[in-house]
């Protein structure tokens, strides 16, 4: 299957579809029970008075259907004394995988990071998600085995 798609910044009109993709990602990761957020909070964090996240989306040109997204935010490296970009989520609907959409989303974020003078572009991947790990490594990412995520849920 060949699909023409474009990568663009999300708009307010996309928020519901983005949230639906977040739900699809949670289902894929077998973490649906952990989704407690809602569309209103997502919209406020993207487009409210104090936006703290950004989203780029992959949209089919024929149907103008959103088939993937990448949600990211600015972080900071004290060792580099530079900003970075942290990729919280990247997801492409299963029926649209293998078409270069995920690669295009990542390459778009690499360009954003370079344009903004960032020192790093980082993200996490679940250790069981071997297809994603292999994809990231093909893209040139180094998977850091010595680092573990620490979390306190509030």
Catalytic: 96?
Answer: no
The overall longest dimension of the chain from CA atoms, in Å, is 45
User: Which one from 28, 76, 86, 136 is the annotated catalytic residue?
Assistant: 136
Q: Where are the beta strands (DSSP E) in the chain?
A: 5-9, 54-60, 66-77, 82-92, 120-123
**Which among 144, 127, 134 has a CA at the least distance from the CA of 98?**
134
Residues annotated as catalytic are 136
């Amino acid at each position: 299957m060949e699909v023409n798609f474009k990568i663009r910044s999300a708009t307010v009109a996309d928020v519901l579809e983005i949230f639906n993709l977040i739900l699809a990602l949670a289902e894929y990761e077998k973490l649906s029970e952990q989704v407690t957020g809602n569309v209103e909070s997502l919209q406020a964090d993207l487009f409210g008075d104090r936006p703290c996240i950004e989203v780029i989306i992959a949209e089919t040109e024929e149907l103008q259907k959103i088939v993937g997204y990448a949600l990211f935010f600015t972080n900071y490296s004290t060792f580099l004394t530079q900003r970075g970009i942290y990729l919280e989520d990247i997801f492409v609907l299963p029926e649209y995988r293998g078409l270069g959409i995920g690669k295009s989303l990542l390459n778009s974020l690499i360009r954003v990071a370079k344009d903004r003078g960032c020192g790093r572009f980082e993200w996490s991947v679940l250790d069981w998600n071997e297809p994603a790990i292999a994809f990231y490594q093909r893209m040139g990412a180094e998977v850091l085995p010595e680092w573990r995520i620490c979390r306190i849920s509030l």
